[in-house]
């Protein structure tokens, strides 16, 4: 294996200032508005960019509050984890934090990886989420912001469980 430095055979091309041409560190010149943009502004057709509201709640404080509750399966106090419902999530995307509930590590593993069929797991998750919500409301740890995300996230879950019940 050759262990010597790489030496260029041809020198780099030089720019007008005598420096090597490189795009590293250079910024593009600012562009002026085009004719279409100027016309749209004059006609009042330009809309201001409004940032989208987040669709999923991400709150470490809420997850800690949930984990502080006793496990819903075993009743163990102090060893709970914040488990998310296995509903409306995708690759590397957790469900909304408002759809979380406390489970012990063993119960969490069993819930996520066991052979519980989908219908039963969804029914259990709906019960767990509602019990967690009731407990956090009783402790005054359920904020209006969490409630708004909960109402938006729970409807599709309830519909899915309702469809499953209707098909039986």
How far CA 70 is from CA of 53, 82, 101, 133, in Å, comes to 32, 11, 10, 13
Per-residue pLDDT tens over the stretch 34-51: 888 888 888 888 887 788
Collapse the DSSP code of 147 into the 3-class scheme (helix H, G, I; strand E, B; otherwise coil) and give the result. helix
The domain locations on the chain are: 60-167
* Span between the terminal Cα atoms of the chain, in Å: 69
Record the tokens describing residue 59, joined without a space: 């709150």
Query: E strands along the chain, which residues?
Result: 81-84, 100-103
Average pLDDT of 104-133? 88
Confidence category of residue 86, pLDDT binned at 50, 70, 90: confident
Mean pLDDT check: name the lowest of 5-9, 118-122, 153-157, 162-166: 162-166
Please tell me the predicted confidence (pLDDT) of residue 147. 94
Residue range 130-159: mean pLDDT, rounded: 92
């Amino acid at each position: 294996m050759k262990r010597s430095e790489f030496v260029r055979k041809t020198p780099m091309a030089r720019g007008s200032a005598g420096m090597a041409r490189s795009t590293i560190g250079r910024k593009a010149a600012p562009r002026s508005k085009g004719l279409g943009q100027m016309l749209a502004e004059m006609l009042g057709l330009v809309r201001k960019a409004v940032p989208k509201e987040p669709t999923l709640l991400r709150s470490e404080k809420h997850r800690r509050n949930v984990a502080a509750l006793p496990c819903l399966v075993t009743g163990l106090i102090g060893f709970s984890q914040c488990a998310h419902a296995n509903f409306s999530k995708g690759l590397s995307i957790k469900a909304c934090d408002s759809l979380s509930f406390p489970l012990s590590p063993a119960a969490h593993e069993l819930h996520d990886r066991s052979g519980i069929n989908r219908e039963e797991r969804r029914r259990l998750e709906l019960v767990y989420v509602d019990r967690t919500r009731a407990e956090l409301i009783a402790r005054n740890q359920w904020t209006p912001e969490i409630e708004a995300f909960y109402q938006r996230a729970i409807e599709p879950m309830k519909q899915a469980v309702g469809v499953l019940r209707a098909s039986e």
